Chain A
Amino acid sequence: MADPVSTIVSAPVSAAVSALGNPSFEGFASIREIGPLGMITLRVKPDVPGLAEALQALGLTLPEMRRIVVGGDRAAGWMGPDEYLLVVPYAEVSAAVARLSDSLKGQHHLVADVSDARAVFRISGAKADQVLRKLCPADLDRLEPGELRRTRAAQVAAAFWHQDDGFTLVCFRSVAGYVMGLLQNAAQPGSELW
């Protein structure tokens, strides 16, 4: 009943390419396209029995509402009342999809590999927040520890969270070039907000 939705999954990391080929830009903050990252959309209600264990088996922790739990190269984020974003190493994504589908067998859920549907950016540096303040109508001062913020970057949907010395921002692959352009423009030296 609960087969993975597809057996065609993102191929080994050596062959896959990120949307832009990992360009970077040094402004008053550093901008870098990272990835490809293994990303999985998991749609399931949080109270489904065995969910926490299923995630644990992948090295992930079930996040609270509006939170993301990051651990090393893995993360699990809350996207909505019945939707999670799981991040795993790109090479492991097909195994993770299969394993998750297996452990949630019999429970109503949907697992989809969306690694290639996304582009991921790192914005780092002491003033990384200012780049986001120019693009996202999100209150950065009130961003709580471990918060996953779904928002928009100028005209497109985006989500970001605090990580290391900056932020990780996710958007759709087709607009990766636009978002890189936005980030680069917002990080122009001399345009610091304060």
Chain B
Amino acid sequence: MSTRLSKGGRLIDRSAAVEFTFNGKRLRGFKGDTLAASLLANDQMLVGRSFKYHRARGIVASGAEEPNALMNMGAGARLEPNQRATTTETFDGLSAQSQNHWPSLDFDVGVINNAFSRFLPGGFYYKTFIHPRFAWKHVFEPFIRKSAGLGKAPTEMDADRYEQAYAFCDVLVAGGGIAGLQAALAAASGGARVMVLEQAPHWGGRAPVDGDVIEGIPAEAWVKNTVETLEKMPNVTMRSRCMVAGVYDHSYVLAEDRVADHTPGDGRPKKRLWRIRATRIVAATGALERPLSFAGNDIPGVMLASAVRDYVVNWAVSPGDRTVVVTNNDDAYRTAIALKEAGLAVPCIVDARAQADGALPTKARAMGIRIETGKAIAKVKGGKRVTGVALCMQAGEGAALEEISCDVVAMSGGWSPVVHLWSHCGGKLIWDAAAAMFRPDAARPPISHDGLAMVYPAGAANGALHADAALQDAAKAGAAAAGADPIAAAQAEPRDEAPLEPIWVMPQGAGVKLRAKMWLDYQNDVKVSDVQLAAREGYESVEHTKRYTTLGMATDQGKLSNINGLAVLANALNAEIPNVGTTTFRPPYTPVTLGALAGEARGEIFQPLRRTPMHAWHEAHGAYFEPVGLWRRPYCYTRGGENHAQSVEREILNTRGNVGMLDASTLGKLIVKGPDAGRFLDMLYTNVMSNLGIGKCRYGLMCNENGFLSDDGVVVRLAEDTWLCHTTTGGAERIHAHMEDWLQCEWWDWQVYTANVTEEYAQIAVAGPKSRALLEKLGGMDVSAETLPFMTFAEGTLAGLPVRVYRISFSGELSYEIAVPASHGLALWDKLVAAGADLGVQPYGTEAMHVMRAEKGFIMIGDETDGTVVPQDLNLGWAISKKKADYLGKRGQERSYLSSPDRWKLAGFETLDGSVIPDGAYILAQGVNANGQGNTQGRVTSTYYSPTLKKGIAMGLIKGGMDRLGEVVEFTKIGGAPVKARIVDPVFYDKEGARNNG
């Protein structure tokens, strides 16, 4: 029986009872409880099933290291799987479900795996992959799928909010135990900006439970005073419930702040991810107790000795009436003493060491507790709960000497410093043989940008397990991290403890039957025998053994199992522990919820949506949007019962027959100005821009240094020293950066300034035979053919709005592009729509634009180009200056491969049957290649149904290009016979360009 004690509990408020449910059962706890404490207070030791064998699992620990007590918390939109009961605060209305059981926690069908455990040895997964071949797919995989799995993935959208926040500090102290607080005092004393983060809701760590005395007062009082002192310091920020999850390069730290985990639905963010730029980090992360490996050490009721003590002292919970303590060190005696002081029975302390004469054993003896030295646990009795233990000699093979009935076994195999934060960025460890632990090697710290150590371990995390040493160590670490003068550390009463004796298997001579019941990894069911098997099968590297056996690969990432596992491996390999080494510690320290990592980026603000000034109009008028970069552009505007293809067809026919309007605001607009601007543009574009007349427009191509076509657009000359370059929608920022790159890094002495004014102007293309009539209706400036010929521009007003009108055409029709300050974009659009009503004006979308340009044989960056195409491939030689000495890409284009006549070149294609060639189709060639695949001689780049010509049209790249006019070739068609098409001129419509003039 586990139950609530009538007195004590330093963290609970007995006046504040809370109600919660576990697997539907209504239970009561107190404010200040962890869920694990509340469950134990309600005699709920059994909390889950293991991953592989579905063995009964009980609460083992009291903190972040807990491998077993994982819960599905909440339900529906607040369901959160794999939450550790030991770090979850109990609140009113909490609901928790145990995991990995079917049909119920008490009766689990999967436990049958247990009976067949000899068929599921270490490396089981790998073996199933290999032999026999059919078995993985048909036998093992379905079986493992059914039996495996922990939490349930939520199916509803998360009802909670999450956010992120940035912070900066000189010293970040991870851990708010006595070492962390002492380090913070030392670091802050010199004025450094200090942040102290503690994962638990309370400060002080283990010292108050262990009964330390600091500066002559109980640790708890010292902690309270120190926290108050630190909170009053203006240069110190303290946050509890905030776990440092990871340390990254240059002292970047991520921390998970559990803001409202314990108060769901109160409107606050459930969690907040802190992104902290620290200069130095103090890792005061404490130490974790290690289990001992004895047969049956996974039976519910077998717990860490420190956890048993925590439950009694912190939450006044008795894990059981009769506790047998088993240990290899003095510290575990504190548990026996605490239990005894709480009025509970400790029938025996089983100490594997030959002697136990230190202060704590002496005190325990004086309290009348029986101590058996040189003894071990031969076996734990019980199924779903411990009922007793059999004792044996540690030196022997496990012959039972006697049986002791008990309902809890409190075990302690010594302590392992929490070296995770030290190790995340490459801090190295040394094996401390005397203390049997890996601790940070001060000579090999993780290094920051300045070549100095970026993490300073402090206290137990640095192997200073006792309060007096920990405080000394932490004061030094804090001052060193801050570069401050040292301060005197608080003095703790020294502890008089005898050294531990490393015990990796209990008893040392245990036979295979016992070793197969000694659990290392409780969650993933990895036993001593599995690691030994891996060693026998040739796995020498700890990293390989980990993956082969799955040791330490569960959600707890081996916090309890790693050291024991590698010690077993070292023994099996007859190697020294430091030679076997540890697996790699990677962030996060404990799992961080995806919500916190996503932060505010969900729903409407998942990602920036760029809107033109007319965006709302498009939304209100049936626009079907397509993403273009972060913009949403109308693909088409649907009317009535039209499908999208019908809308596109209508928009094209209306533009060609009457007049259409396109929102072209997203086009990049870059001003280039200065005495060297002309020279600069001549280098950037393949053709000459310096001789463009003021008031004129010219189409230009831009290539990268390799010669590949990168962007295109219309360049206009605004003034003697000023040009305006239009880029593609996706190219605006990229080309602006490209320009600045060349100006800042290569041609820094050229006098050229650029400005990206893309968003300053809304731009509207008005295209179609009635476009001039429409502009004339608005009035304000002369847009006649005489005043405003093709490829010129003029500034003036239309409908009273200030505009610049370009006579340029991407549709082949008489066309104007009108730029207007963005704040007037919608006003101009509205006026065009109103004035154009009787001319039949209709807006058209990007797809109509695409089809119309294809009908005219105009290329599109991203369709005809893919980063491997040079302008010459696209028959754009006319836009490449032969006169210029140089331009970006010129030399690249002269390379033999790029100037080869064998390159695939642009041509038009018309299917013989009028059908549309499938997107992405290849042009078939004779024979097969070395891989037995059919040869190709080209591919389609743009393919559409042309409503104007009433048939399929396409552009594509084909070997030989336009030299092969008239030939019939075959395009691939998935799921059908190849499509026959004739090679034609890619200008399908209005070859002479008469329509440009209306």
Contacts and interface: CB of A to CB of B under 8 A. Distances in A.
A142 B802 CA distance: 44
Given A110-B673, A116-B761, A141-B168, A191 B600 contact: no
B512 interface: no
Interface string B628-658: 0011000000000000000000000000000
A137 B166 CA distance: 6
A69 to B, nearest CB: 22
Contacts of A17: 823, 826
B823 A10 contact: yes
A130 B720 CA distance: 48
Interface string A154-194: 11100000000000000011111110011001101111011
B7 interface: no
Contact of B267 (A134, A185, A189): A189
Nearest to B259: A191
A142 B631 CA distance: 35
Interface in B643-679: 671, 673-675
B820 A5 contact: no
Interface stretch (B325-333, B606-614, B902-910): B606-614
A189 B161 CA distance: 12
Given A112-B760, A117-B758, A155 B821 contact: no
Contact of B759 (A1, A154, A173, A182): A173
A174 B631 contact: yes
Interface in B157-178: 161, 163-168
A9 B275 CA distance: 42
Contacts of B161: 185, 188, 191
Contact of A117 (B168, B718, B719, B759): B759
B269 interface: yes
Contacts of B753: 43-44, 82, 108-110
A194 to B, nearest CB: 8
Contacts of A19: 613, 822
A51 to B, nearest CB: 14
A117 B753 CA distance: 18
Contacts of B607: 155
B722 A5 contact: yes
Nearest to A153: B608
Nearest to B733: A157
A118 B165 CA distance: 25
B821 A5 contact: no
Interface string A130-146: 00011111110110000
B605 A190 contact: no
Interface string B743-758: 0000000010111011
Contacts of A82: 753
A182 B605 contact: yes
B982 interface: no
B618 interface: no
B795 interface: yes
B804 interface: yes
Interface in B783-809: 795, 801-804
Nearest to B599: A154
Interface residues of A, number: 59
A193 B165 contact: yes
A8 B820 contact: yes
Contact of B823 (A36, A110, A156): A36
Interface in B592-622: 599-601, 604-605, 607-613
Contacts of B985: none
A16 B721 contact: no
B402 interface: no
B482 to A, nearest CB: 16
A8 B804 contact: yes
Contacts of A186: 163, 600
A116 B608 contact: no
Max chain A Cβ within 10 angstroms of own Cβ: one of B237, B802, B804: B802
A132 B506 CA distance: 57
Interface string A103-137: 00000111011111110000000000000011111
A110 B163 contact: no
A96 to B, nearest CB: 15
Given A110-B753, A190-B268, A136 B823 contact: no
B750 to A, nearest CB: 10
A183 to B, nearest CB: 10
Contacts of A1: 720-721
A5 B718 contact: yes
Nearest to A20: B611
A185 B600 contact: yes
Nearest to A90: B823
B620 to A, nearest CB: 15
A190 B266 CA distance: 8
Max chain A Cβ within 10 angstroms of own Cβ: one of B166, B724, B753, B824: B753
B795 A6 contact: yes
A186 to B, nearest CB: 7
A108 B759 contact: no
Contacts of B167: 133
B827 interface: yes
Contacts of B608: 154-156, 175, 178
B673 A11 contact: no
Contacts of A173: 613, 759, 822
A95 interface: no
Contacts of B718: 3, 5-6
Contact of A108 (B611, B631, B751, B827): B751
Interface in B236-290: 237, 259, 266-269, 275, 277
Max chain B Cβ within 10 angstroms of own Cβ: one of A189, A191, A194: A191
A41 interface: yes
B939 interface: no
Interface in A19-37: 19, 36
Contacts of B277: 137, 139
A93 B608 CA distance: 29
Nearest to B235: A141
A134 B165 contact: yes
A178 B631 CA distance: 12
A4 B671 CA distance: 11
A18 interface: yes
Contacts of B420: none
Contact of A154 (B259, B600, B754, B822): B600
Nearest to B266: A190
Contact of B821 (A11, A41, A109, A189): A11
Contacts of B757: 112, 114, 117
A7 B795 contact: yes
A8 B803 contact: yes
B824 A108 contact: no
A9 B165 CA distance: 39
Interface string B707-738: 00000000000111110100000000000000
Given A137-B275, A177-B609, A16 B759 contact: no
B322 interface: no
Contacts of A135: 600
B831 to A, nearest CB: 12
Contacts of A8: 795, 802-804, 819-821
A45 B27 CA distance: 73
Nearest to A173: B759
A137 B610 CA distance: 22
B193 interface: yes
Contacts of B610: 172, 174-175
Given A116-B760, A116-B822, 18 more contacts: A5-B719, A10-B821, A16-B824, A36-B823, A114-B755, A116-B759, A133-B165, A134-B164, A135-B600, A138-B166, A154-B605, A156-B608, A173-B759, A174-B610, A175-B608, A181-B605, A185-B161, A188-B269
25 contacts: A1-B720, A1-B721, A6-B804, A7-B795, A8-B802, A11-B801, A11-B824, A16-B824, A43-B755, A108-B751, A109-B753, A112-B755, A133-B166, A137-B166, A138-B166, A139-B277, A154-B605, A173-B759, A174-B631, A174-B759, A175-B609, A178-B609, A181-B604, A182-B605, A194-B237
